[in-house]
Structure 1
Amino acid sequence: MRFELTLNRTTKQRMLPMDYQYYISAWIYKVLKQADADFANFLHNKGYGKGDSDTKLYKLFCFSRLNFGKPKMWKEKKLFEISTHEIKLQISFDVNEVACNFIKGLFMAQEFYLGDKFNGIDFTVANVAALSEPEFTETMRYRLQTPWVVSYQKENDKYPSYLSPKDELFEGLSMKHLIEKYNNTHHDLFIEPDQIKVKRLNDFKRSGFVIKPDTPQQSRIVGNLFDFELYAPVDVHKMIWNAGVSEKSSSGFGWVEVSTDYMTSSK
């Protein structure tokens, strides 16, 4: 389920690091931990999954970019200067309805600081609104709002490579990830490889951001922005709507919206 949070600035601070996604992810974990340490630790350390030693475990939530209008950009300082006092943020969780109602209450009236030790903004959550789902069918068209990350690490490589759609491994690995993500977290339906297909609808743009800034683990993760058509069981569409389509969705990658072109043509 998706929620839209209305954030109000509470001080005169206006500068926000451009790579703010890591700080949002850390804040989400902090909110969960304040209310239920076991639930937060489960999400952060394991996510959902079968727990097999050879199976990746997934953290089934995602979040959008901040909607703050058109800020002034200080590219050399990697900062946004934000003038608006009301900012929107959407977050989503692929959990059952009971858990969603619990989560909605956690975020209401939260007060928090978003940013690093030099630049950031104090916010309060003024409102939390549950958003309705689109009408899902087996074939849907989506527009990526945050990059779709597909990584590949060779046996002797120290760091993974972040693939683009031009790489021959991109499509196969992206579909493998979705199938594993679904099969390891949903047990009412088992997805076979021939049940899911993706088609890119336009050119792609490379995009990414830094995670864990100012730490020894700092790294820049790079993905791809494009529109795509996905053929898959309806439950898979619901999963990517609520948990992102990408690797590293809990860091804000792989947030999708239904393509407006598709919605217009399907009426």
Structure 2
Amino acid sequence: MNFKIMLQSIEPKPCIPINYQYPLSAALYRVIAKGDARYAAFLHETGYGKGFKFFTFSQIDCPFNINREEKYMKLQGNELSFSISFHLPLAMESFIKGLFQSERIDIADKKSRASFMVKSVERLPDPLQTRKENEIVSVILKPNSMIVAGIPAENGKYEYLSPDDQRFTESLIYNWRSKIATCYDENTAQSAILLLEILPIKLAFKPRLITIKAGTPNESQVRGWLNFELKVTAEKRFVELLLNAGAGLYNAMGCGSGEVKLLKNSINNI
């Protein structure tokens, strides 16, 4: 399920951290914990199987100016919005709406802080609603946050890959297959037909670097990419998992969120 959340600032001229992804993720966990502490603890401490959280959120949508020296964003209005996806049954819609309705969300680090109230929560249309679970579909996926792909490095971190590296799509498919194994089982994951194709939309891919836990001893940097689309072909249930849980790495930190730009005809044979 995919929701659009509209926030309204409590104070005028709010400023939020330039690396808002981690603070916003932490704020979302707090909202979930208030509504269902056991579910929140499960997401934060355990996740599904290999630590997957099975939710992700987009970049924020609002006009702003960036102060790069002080590392904050000054919003040009009192509202911002973002989309958030959960891999949950449709019957959970009221539960999710209830979690966020009229909640306060603080987006803050050591240098900047802004407090917001949730103005509205709207479930977005499901473009795959009319398709059968095992029907093979092909969609054009538009990322609305950076997509992170990487392979483990010797130092325990990741070697981040760019979309013009063949290993980029291989990494995304490996990650996707791992999520399927966690959600279903290993045999289902290994037999699943999963196709990904990079579709550049501008002259060059656009890298983006974000800092997680900025200003703390655990600070780290994550590199992802924008300015491309993905042609995704798989069974509907697996495409839905990719949309709801996110593509690639660091989904619960707001990476790998996407939306269906174009739904192609069903495919009987690949």
Q: Which runs of 5+ in 1 are unaligned?
A: 50-55
Q: Which residue of 2 aligns with 1:64?
A: 58
2:12–2:78 contact (8 Å) kept in structure 1? no
Q: What do you get for the CA RMSD once the two structures are aligned?
A: 2.1
Q: Which residue of 1 aligns with 2:105?
A: 112
Q: Which residue of 1 aligns with 2:30?
A: 30
Q: Deviations over 1:28-61 (max 9, x none)?
A: 1111111222111101111123xxxxxx231100
- C-alpha distance in structure 2 between counterparts of 1:142 and 1:101, whole Å: 27
Letter in 2 for 1:251: M
- C-alpha distance in structure 2 between counterparts of 1:208 and 1:141, whole Å: 25
Q: Cα–Cα, structure 1 residues 194 and 100, in superposed 2: closer, same or farther, change >3 Å? A: closer
- C-alpha distance in structure 1 between counterparts of 2:161 and 2:124, whole Å: 32
1:13–1:121 contact (8 Å) kept in structure 2? no
- Higher alpha-carbon deviation: 183-192 or 37-46: 183-192
Letter in 2 for 1:215: T
Counterpart mapping for 1:18-167 below 5 A: 18-49=18-49, 56-68=50-62, 70-135=63-128, 138-154=137-153, 156-167=154-165
Using the TM superposition, give the Cα deviation of residue 187 of structure 1 relative to its aligned residue in structure 2, in angstroms.
5.2
Using the TM superposition, give the Cα deviation of residue 254 of structure 1 relative to its aligned residue in structure 2, in angstroms.
0.4
Count of aligned residue pairs for this structure pair:
255
Verify: 1:234 aligned to 2:236, yes or no.
Answer: yes
Using the aligned pairs only, state the percent identity.
Answer: 28
Q: Deviations over 1:113-138 (max 9, x none)?
A: 21213312111011111111113661
Q: Which residue of 2 aligns with 1:52?
A: none
Q: Cα–Cα, structure 1 residues 162 and 211, in superposed 2: closer, same or farther, change >3 Å? A: same
1:61–1:249 contact (8 Å) kept in structure 2? yes
- C-alpha distance in structure 1 between counterparts of 2:122 and 2:255, whole Å: 22
Using the TM superposition, give the Cα deviation of residue 13 of structure 1 relative to its aligned residue in structure 2, in angstroms.
4.3
Using the TM superposition, give the Cα deviation of residue 157 of structure 1 relative to its aligned residue in structure 2, in angstroms.
2.8
User: Secondary structure of the equivalent of 1:253?
Assistant: coil
Q: Deviations over 1:186-209 (max 9, x none)?
A: 359813366111111114221131
Q: TM-score, normalised by structure 2?
A: 0.87
Using the TM superposition, give the Cα deviation of residue 24 of structure 1 relative to its aligned residue in structure 2, in angstroms.
1.0
Q: Cα–Cα, structure 1 residues 149 and 193, in superposed 2: closer, same or farther, change >3 Å? A: farther
Q: Which residue of 1 aligns with 2:268?
A: none
Question: Which protein has the bigger strand share?
Answer: 2
Q: Cα–Cα, structure 1 residues 251 and 83, in superposed 2: closer, same or farther, change >3 Å? A: same
- C-alpha distance in structure 2 between counterparts of 1:147 and 1:82, whole Å: 21
Q: Cα–Cα, structure 1 residues 99 and 187, in superposed 2: closer, same or farther, change >3 Å? A: farther
Letter in 1 for 2:54: L
Q: Which residue of 2 aligns with 1:209?
A: 210
Letter in 2 for 1:144: P
